[in-house]
Structure 1
Amino acid sequence: MSTIQPFHLAIPVHNLEENRVFYRDTLGCEEGRSSEHWVDFDFFGHQLVLHEQEIQPKLTSKGNPVDGKDVPIPHFGVVLQWKDFESFAQRLKEKNITFIIEPYVRFKGKTGEQSTMFFKDPSGNALEFKAFKDMNQLFAK
């Protein structure tokens, strides 16, 4: 695997201040530059920009079935270190996050064993955080 470069992602939010608090205080992201209508965050080493917009129509997709669960589409997130996933999930539980999919382990004892969880930000953007037991299996078949 090559050295990973930070990605840049800009997403719409309907209430900049409410989402600013969520990403900063709930997820623990450091705030960067901002203006009246947008704010940058250090999203686990990547650049995430929240752009305030009027509420957009919701996607009609029900998501995709994975392991008998309804995975929201679209979604984004970060692959954490295995040891960090559990403490991050616990912190989210303590902050009363409502999970779309509770933290659980997929492919236990198999290639690609991973922990994963899904939840939404206050504007309804779906996030997935995961961790691989063996990071070298991130793209394993």
Structure 2
Amino acid sequence: MTTRTPAPATSRTWSIAELADEFEVTHRTIRHYEELGLIEPERRGTVRVFHARDRIRLSLILRGKRIGFPLTEIRKIIDMYDEQPGEAGQLAYLLAQIADRRADLERRRQDIEDSLRELATLERRCRADLRDLTHT
């Protein structure tokens, strides 16, 4: 029996089904990101072959979506890695986007807390009015 040396991680490929299962998304979602040019799998006939770069980009896309970035911003952030000023520019831009997103979420949280307080006040008043109506 001969021992095979494992191939480097960068030569590993994935099928659309494997990525869909791993990231818990539909095949349609992955194809949509491909149509938008966010990922660029190799095509072997009708089969899509995803390389490490595609897998990393898909991971970044989904992370960006989870924290509320629109696809246009996600594309810009991801594409900046390959363009000037490269990773440093990408990180600086991302930090600015994070600050904007955080501020937006903080505003929303305050709005939700204000609404919950108003609902609690209204609920107390309604319960008191109902109690007064049923005890008279």
TM range (shorter): under 0.3
Higher relative contact order (CA 8 A, sep 6+): 1
Structure ranking higher in helix proportion: 2
Q: Structure 1 length normalisation: TM-score?
A: 0.23
* Structure having the higher Rg: 2
**TM-score, normalising length from structure 2?**
0.24
